[in-house]
Amino acid sequence: MVAQSTKRVVLFASGSGSNVENIVHYFQERRDVTIAMVLTNKRDAKVLDRCNRLNISALYFNKTAFSKSHGVVDILKGLKPDLIVLAGFLLKIPENLLHQFPDKIINIHPALLPKYGGKGMYGKHVHAAVKANQEGETGITIHYVNEQYDEGAIIHQAKTTLLATDSVDTIAEKVHQLEFAHFPKIIDQLLQQP
């Protein structure tokens, strides 16, 4: 019998890691998909506690390893990822990493790009800007990562309606619910592509 090949996913996260946890749960019974490792640039990120609890390998790296040397690239080469997923990761991906893994790095952004993207637009900052502009809807964008913040080719978007009574926190909650529903499925679809 030919052994089924396992697709390997590496996740990057900078903060709480609720998307990481949701992705881990989605794939936990799947023998054809492995979450190989979670990498973080924040030594005290809550995602590290989650990884401990979930029995997922996790690694903190510093700025030198990420953007001033090949440290993170070498770790990734060893992990042989089929897909690298930025799940709440807030640093710009350096060019050497992009070139090493062309078309294999995707990001989730908590708004409907091209609106509310770019440097400084992350997490609550996005939702505060959406609220300030009295938007009637917001959403999520899953896209490939390129040299510019939030400008890579869009893979998938999903929308949610906003009410005038929504606060920044309730907008964040609505967006998280969209992320939980869509992100693992899109990762799954990308892994199935030949």
Contact 186, 155 (CB under 8 A): yes
Q: How far is CA 178 from CA 12, 75, 126, 157, 174, in A?
A: 19, 31, 15, 10, 7
Binding string, residues 49-68; x marks residues near ligand GAR by CB under 6 A: --------------------
Whole-angstrom distance, CA of residue 151 vs CA of residue 174:
23
Number of helices (H) and strands (E) in the chain: give both, helices first: 7, 7
Interface residue with ligand GAR among 18, 100, 146, 170 (CB under 6 A) is: 18
Closest separation in Å from C-beta 102 to ligand GAR: 21
Which residue number, 40 or 67, has a Cβ lying nearer to ligand GAR?
A: 40
Give 160-164 contacts, CB < 8 A, sequence gap 24+: 161/136, 161/137, 162/130, 162/135, 162/136, 162/137, 162/138, 164/134
Q: Characterise 25 by phi-psi region: left (phi > 0), alpha (psi -120 to 50), beta (else).
A: alpha
Closest separation in Å from C-beta 78 to ligand GAR: 25
Closest separation in Å from C-beta 50 to ligand GAR: 9
Which residue minimizes CB distance to ligand GAR?
88
Q: Please tell me whether residue 152 binds ligand GAR under the rule CB under 6 A.
A: no
Contact 12, 75 (CB under 8 A): no
As given in the structure block, the two tokens for residue 80 are 């042989």
Give the residue numbers annotated as catalytic, written as ranges.
109
Q: Please tell me whether residue 109 binds ligand GAR under the rule CB under 6 A.
A: yes
Q: Please tell me whether residue 116 binds ligand GAR under the rule CB under 6 A.
A: no
**Residue 191 one-letter amino acid:** L
Q: Please tell me whether residue 19 binds ligand GAR under the rule CB under 6 A.
A: yes
Considering only 48-56, 75-83, 131-139, 171-179, which stretch makes contact with ligand GAR by CB under 6 A? 171-179
Closest separation in Å from C-beta 94 to ligand GAR: 16
Q: Please tell me whether residue 88 binds ligand GAR under the rule CB under 6 A.
A: yes
Asked, as a colleague might, if the bond just before 184 is cis with ω within 30 of 0, I would say no
Q: Please tell me whether residue 15 binds ligand GAR under the rule CB under 6 A.
A: yes
Binding interface with ligand GAR (CB under 6 A): 13, 15-19, 87-88, 90, 108-110, 122-123, 126, 175-176, 179
